[in-house]
Structure 1
Amino acid sequence: MDSRHPVADDAAHASAELDSEYEHSPVPPERRKSLLTVSAVWFGFPMILTNAVPGGVVVAVLGFWRGLAAILVANLVMFVYVGLLSHRAGSTGESFALQATKTFGRIGYVVASGFLATIVVGWFAFNTGATGATLHQAFGWHEQLVAVIAGAAFVAITYLGIRALSWLGAVAAPLFIVVGVIAIVLVAKDHDLGAVLDYQGVAPAGGAMTFGAAVSLIMATFADSGTMTADFTRWSKDGKQAVLATATAFPLASLVAQITGGIVVAAGAIASAATVGGNFLPILTGHSIFLDALAAVFVFVNLGSVCSHCLYNGALSWSHLTRSKMRIMTLILGVIGTAAALAGVWNHFLDWLVILSVFVPPLGGVLIADQVILRRHVDARPASAVRPTAFIAWGAGALVGGLVHWYAPQFSDAVSGLVVALLVHVALERLAPRPSAAA
C-alpha cells in the first residue's frame, strides 16, 4: 500500500482553482490518486452511526450469532458486488454515469443514472435531518437550525471534491473507532458483556425477521452508493487498487459499524432495540462535558462523512445528466436535500431501505453483467440510444426481488434480484442479434 499521507499525491496539483472532477470524461492516468487516498474515501464512508443502526436491528431480532452471520454474509456479498464494479472503474477511469451510458444507452442511461442520483440525494437529506434530530435529542439543540447549519457545512465539504472526501474519511473512521470503544466501555460498567454471546434477540412489533430479510436490510444501507462506486474508485491507479480500496469499506469499515451496533444491543444497553437499532450515541451523553463535546463533534463528522459522499455521488451524476459542473449541482442539490431534511424525510428510514433492497441491487447486477462478464463484448459493441436488454433485465430482477420480499422472505430479495438481473442480462445479450451500426 502506498505509505504517503492522503494529501500528498494531491499536493502537486493544488492551486488557487479547485481541481477538475471529470464529470464528463474518464479520469486520465496522470490524475489518478494513491491507494491510500482512495481507501480513505471509501473507508470513512460506511463506518457511521446510521450503519450501526441496522446492525443493531438485525442482532435485536435474530440474536447475536445469527445476526452476526447475516451481517457477515451481507458484507461479503457487498465486497464481491462493489469490488467487481470498482475493478472496472479503476481500469477505465469512468464514473457511474459513464458506465451506465454504455450499459443502458446514451439516452436510456438517464433513467438508471437519474434514479440512483436522486436516491443518494435522499440519503443526504436523511442524514442531514438525522444530524439535527440526534443533537436535539441528546442536548436539546434546535433541531431545524442544526439541520440547516449541518447541511451548509456538508455542502461546503462536497464542493471541494474528491480530495475533501479523502480528508474527511481519514478523520471520520478513526473517530468512530474511538467513540465506539468508549461506548462499549461505558456499557460494560452497567451490563455484563459476557452475556452478549448468549443474546437470543427480542420479538419485533411487526413480526419476526427472516435471515434473508436481514441480509437484504444490511445490503440496502449501501446498495446505492455501492452501485455508484465508480465515482470514487475511478480515481484509483488501476483495477487492483480499486478493489483493495473497496475492501476497506466492505467488509472492514461496514463490519466495524454494524458489529458495534450489534454489541451494544446484545449487551442490553438500548431500549426498543428492534426499532432504534444500534444507535449508541445516547450512551455517551450525560457523563461529562468532555464526552458531551466529543459526542457532538462525532455526530457532525460522522454523519457529515456519509452526507458528503452521497451528495458527491448525486452531484456527479446529475452534472453529467444536465451537462453542467459537479460543483454547481452540489449547491443546487444541497439546497434541495436540506429542504427535504427539514420536511422530515429521515423519519422513513426502514421503509426507505426496503425500497432500495428491491430496486437497486438488480441495477447493479445488470452493470456487473455488462461491464464485467461481457466487457469484451461491450467494448466492441456499437453505441445505442436505448439498450432494451438492460431494462428488461433490471425489471426482471426487481420483479423477482419484490416477489421474494412478499412471498418468500426466508430468502434475500436483494441477492435474488441481483442474481436474476445478472443472469437475464447475460442471456439476452448473448441471444440478441448484433447491430451493424450505431442506433
Structure 2
Amino acid sequence: MESQQNTGNRFEDYSVSPVPEQKRRSTLNVSVTSCAWVISLSTIFTGGTLVNGLTFGETVIAALCGMLVLALYGFFQGWMGAKYGVSTTMLARQAFGRYGAKLFGVLLAITMGIGWFGYQISFFGLTIAEMFPGQWFATPQAAMLWGGILMILTALIGYRGLAALSMVAVPLVVLLSVWGLFEAVAYAGSWNALYSSEPAGESMTLFAGITIVVGNAALGAVVFPDVTRYGKTAARGAFGASIGYALGGLFCTIAGAAMALAAQVPDVGSTPNIPAAMSQIGLGFFAFLILVFAQWTTNDNNLYTGSLGLRNAIALSKAVLVGAMGVLGLLIALLGIEEQFVPFLNFLGTYVPPIAGIMIADHWIVSPAVRKQTYQFSNEAVYAKWNVAAIVSVILGGWIGSGLGFGITAINSTLLAFLIYIVLAFLFRTLNIPFETGTISGQHEK
C-alpha cells in the first residue's frame, strides 16, 4: 500500500501518498522554500538581459509583472497541492487519468530531472570556472562534479533538505540584491539617475521584457504542488508559495540588473557577463557562495520534481530514481552534449505549462460540474486510466499557443488548454460521450 511504503522509508518523502497533517510545515517554511526554487543563475542573468534593452525602472516593472503572472496561476496549482497534500504528478491522476499522469511524470523526469538538471550543471561549472580561473576546484569538470553531487544529495533527502538549504540561500541572495542595488546607485550617481538609465544595448519593449521573465520561470509555477503539499492549509500553502516565488524572482532579477549596470562589463556574445560583474563590484568570495547556493537551490529542485514525477510512473524507490537521473544528468554535462538536448527540452516546455491549465480547469470546473465528484487520493480512490479530452486539450493548447504571433507562449498555451478542455468536457457530456476510459483503484498502485 502506498502509505506504508512512504512511511517506511525516510527517503520516499511521501512521493505516492498525501503528506500527513503532522508533517506539514509553516507558511514561512513553504514560502522560503519556493523562493529558493526561482533563485538561480538563469534568473540573475535574466536581470542582466533586461537592463540591456530596458531602463532600470522598466526592468523592475517587467520583473514585477512577470512574477505576478506566474504567482497567479501558481497559486491555483499550489492550492490543490496543499489541500490534498500530494505532488503535482499525483494530482494529475484526477485530471489526466492514472496512465496520463504516468506520462506526465515521465515528461517531468526528462525535462527537469535529466535534461535541465544536466544543462544547469554544465552552466554552473562554466560559471565557476570563469569566476575563479586557474583554480583546481573551479575547472569546469571539477565544478560540475562537486556541484552535481551536492545537488543530488539534497534532492535525495527530499523536502527537508530543500527547506534547510533554502534558509541559507535566500538571505544570501537578498543581501546580494541590496548590495548590487547600492553599487548601481553609486555608479549612476543617484536613485533617479539609476531609475531612468538608458539601455546598454538595443532597446526592447516592456512586453518583451515581461515575456522573458515569464519564460524563464514558467515551468516552476506548474509544479508548485511539490512544495505546497507541505502547507498546513490550502490557502496558506498557496499564498506562501506564490509570495515566495514572486519575491525570489523579483529580488534575483533586480540583483542581476543592478550588478550589470554597476559593473558595465562587456557581454559575452548576447549573454550578460554576470560573473565578471560580480568581481568588478568587489563581491569576491561572497560571489562564489552566492553562485553555489543560487544554482544549488534551483537545480536540486529540478531533480526533486523529476524524481517525484518518475516515482509516480515507475515502482522503484525515490532514492534509486534520484540517483539514476542525477548521474545521467551529470554525465550529459561532463560529456558536453547538454546543448544538443535544448531544442527538445524547449519543445517539451511548450507543452508542459498547458498541463497546469488542465489541472486548474478540472479541479474547479469539470470535476464538480461534469463528473460531479470530489478529488480523493487514497488506497480507496478510483482513477480513470486515461482522460482523452485532457490530453487532446494539452496538445491543441500547446500547438495553437506556440503558433500565435503575440503574447507569452507559456501563458497563451495554458489559457487555451484551460478553455479547450472545459468546452470539450461539456460538449462530450451534452453528446453523452465518455471522455475518460477505464478505471484503476488506488489500492493496486505501488
Q: 1:179 aligns with which of 168, 176, 180?
A: 176
Number of the residue aligned with 1:394:
394
Q: Indicate whether 1:263 and 2:258 are aligned.
A: yes
Q: 2:218 aligns with which of 219, 223, 228?
A: 223
Number of the residue aligned with 2:122:
129
Q: Tell me if structure 2 keeps the 8 A contact 1:187–1:283.
A: no
Q: Tell me if structure 2 keeps the 8 A contact 1:78–1:219.
A: yes
Q: Tell me if structure 1 keeps the 8 A contact 2:40–2:295.
A: yes
Partners of 2:183 and 2:261 in 1: CA distance: 14
Between 147-156 and 37-46, report the one with greater CA deviation.
37-46
Partners of 1:213 and 1:113 in 2: CA distance: 31
What is the correspondence of 1:33-182 to structure 2 with a 5 Å cutoff? 33-121=25-113, 122-140=115-133, 141-182=138-179
Number of the residue aligned with 1:197:
195
Name the amino acid aligned to 1:135: I
Q: 1:281 aligns with which of 254, 261, 275?
A: 275
Deviations 1:110-131 (A, max 9, x none): 3322212321122222222122
The 3 A distance-change label for structure 1 pair 119 and 216 is farther
Partners of 2:122 and 2:335 in 1: CA distance: 9
Deviations 1:368-423 (A, max 9, x none): 1112333424572873221111112111211222112xxx24x2222221111111
Partners of 1:326 and 1:271 in 2: CA distance: 44
Partners of 2:264 and 2:341 in 1: CA distance: 22
Shift of 1:236: 1.0
Partners of 1:323 and 1:151 in 2: CA distance: 25
Partners of 1:413 and 1:332 in 2: CA distance: 32
Q: 1:247 aligns with which of 232, 242, 251?
A: 242
Gaps of at least 5 residues in structure 2 are 1-6, 375-381, 440-446
Q: Indicate whether 1:358 and 2:354 are aligned.
A: no
In the superposition, the TM-score normalised over structure 1's length comes to 0.85
Number of the residue aligned with 2:425:
429
Q: Tell me if structure 1 keeps the 8 A contact 2:74–2:242.
A: no
Number of the residue aligned with 2:378:
none
Number of the residue aligned with 2:13:
21
Q: Tell me if structure 2 keeps the 8 A contact 1:365–1:418.
A: yes
- Partner SS state of residue 312, structure 2: helix
Shift of 1:143: 0.8
Shift of 1:250: 3.2
The 3 A distance-change label for structure 1 pair 233 and 274 is farther
- Partner SS state of residue 108, structure 1: helix
The 3 A distance-change label for structure 1 pair 59 and 274 is farther
Number of the residue aligned with 2:284:
292
Q: Indicate whether 1:384 and 2:387 are aligned.
A: no
Q: Indicate whether 1:301 and 2:298 are aligned.
A: no
The 3 A distance-change label for structure 1 pair 66 and 298 is closer
Shift of 1:299: 1.8
What is the correspondence of 1:404-415 to structure 2 with a 5 Å cutoff? 404=404, 408-409=405-406, 411-415=407-411
Taking every aligned residue pair, what percent have the same amino acid on both sides?
A: 23
Shift of 1:86: 0.5
Partners of 1:63 and 1:348 in 2: CA distance: 34
Gaps of at least 5 residues in structure 1 are 1-14
Q: Tell me if structure 2 keeps the 8 A contact 1:84–1:372.
A: no
Q: Tell me if structure 2 keeps the 8 A contact 1:127–1:346.
A: no
